[in-house]
Structure 1
């Protein structure tokens, strides 16, 4: 009889555990927890070694903004560029957006920011309204340069004035850290 009670308690605790996992992975509650964990674990991005820096050729890449206007890549010549590939459904992407927003608010007139997504304009608009975001969002009309390819998001790149990738980050980061701001200020000199 005692063994039967123990086995039924084990079965009940397993079912409860599976339900908790389901809530975590398949509901908005789980998304909030994942976003919070990503923010907690986000680190400041590091600069690439000079020998690892690759040049970006924007020649065949076409982007359009939220109003359907084609982005003119002549605007990036001689400027520092931050490119972030993201999605509205991606917890690490959501986690880093507040730090990007703060950075954008302070550097939007000094740095070219390109937040690239494949989400629908309606989803992006709803996301931006919900999060009070003013980040400039772009949609690809053609494939990004091969040096910007990543199989995961978020994928972020900082390109210096010479067109070289000096930072590449493939998970959530704290883009508003004092360490990153010092690095960005050095790139702007």
Structure 2
């Protein structure tokens, strides 16, 4: 018995739909798709066209309950990423974030911010061997940094100009991002 081409395509389509419906297979598929999208570097905004942060008042805490305020980092280069452990595009971009963090964590401020519970975050970091510092908000973020989607990433220069404002996954370890950071550090 031979199966027609249209019947075979229908069977394949149904299998793909079933895999996307099942929670155990949906997230890995979504992560794989977003890893493909995360191969691209984010766009860098010309300083003349960039938005500027005027209000740095945002209280955060790290996973050890040490409190900081974004005000403390005014005048420094800040890499700010809003993310969650359950978010496929966030998960997809984490390896490139980790690589960038390894090379620049002593040169710029990294603020990876999530609203999730501490134990969930720690399990995620341990499972994936990530060692970046994670922060949780204690107050509302400045209006300019609010986001309706995650991941959302900002690269802020020493004068408060937002030179990268990216929604969605990206390759944060790209040559373009590294050159931008290097130029900001000069």
TM over 0.5: same fold? yes
Distance of 1:50 and 1:106 partners within structure 2:
24
Which residue in 2 is equivalent to 1:155?
Answer: 152
Q: Which residue is equivalent to 1:75?
A: 72
TM-score w.r.t. the length of structure 2 is 0.88
Compared CA separation, residues 58 and 124, structure 1 to 2 (3 A): farther
Matched, 1:170 2:164: no
8 A contact 1:65–1:138 mirrored in 2: yes
Residue deviations 1:41-78 (CA, integer Å, cap 9, x gap): 22101111334312223443111110111114343122
Which segments of 5 or more consecutive residues in structure 2 lack a partner in the other structure? none
Does structure 1 residue 23 correspond to structure 2 residue 19? Answer: yes
How many matched pairs? 182
RMSD over aligned CA atoms reads 2.2
| Contact 2:41–2:176 under 8 Å retained in 1 | yes
Large movers: runs of 4+ above 2 Å: 12-20, 49-52, 57-60, 72-75
TM-score computed with the length of structure 1 as normaliser = 0.87
SS of residue in 2 equivalent to 1:162: coil
Question: Following superposition of structure 1 onto structure 2, how do residues 1-189 of structure 1 map, counting pairs within 5 Å?
Answer: 17-18=13-14, 20-42=16-38, 43-189=40-186
